[in-house]
Amino acid sequence: MPRKTHTEKRERRGQRRGSMEARAPRPKPKIDFIADALDFKNTNLLRQYVTDQGRILPRKYTNMPAHYQRRLTRAIKRARQMLLMK
């Protein structure tokens, strides 16, 4: 019995379902970063790393090293606990 090669799947592999157009890349915000200023009391700096909905921006958009991104997240969460920011 001959082996199946799944030629139909190979032909469809490069195509998307429906007629969707390619998405434009989301613009990354340019934010100046100072490691010493990263503190929960510095709410003006922390607000630059939070969206209007209150979500913390990911590393993909902040372009920070992982170590500083964790410090940033910790500072934002502390500021929220102290009711310094929403």
Instruction: Report the C-alpha gap between 29 and 36 in whole angstroms.
Output: 21
Residue 41: predicted pLDDT: 94
Handedness of CA 52, 29, 74, 78 (dihedral sign): negative
Q: pLDDT, tens digit, for every residue of 9-52?
A: 666 665 555 557 888 887 766 666 677 788 999 999 999 999 99
Give Rg (Cα) of the chain: 22
Is residue 56's pLDDT more than 80? yes
Residue 64 phi/psi, 5-degree rounding, is: -100, 155
Task: Determine which of 1-10, 31-40, 52-61, 77-86 has the lowest per-residue pLDDT on average.
Answer: 1-10
Would you state the pLDDT for residue 34? 72
First to last CA, the chain: 66
Q: Are 68 and 74 in contact (CB under 8 A)?
A: no
Note the Cα 57 to chain centre separation in Å: 5
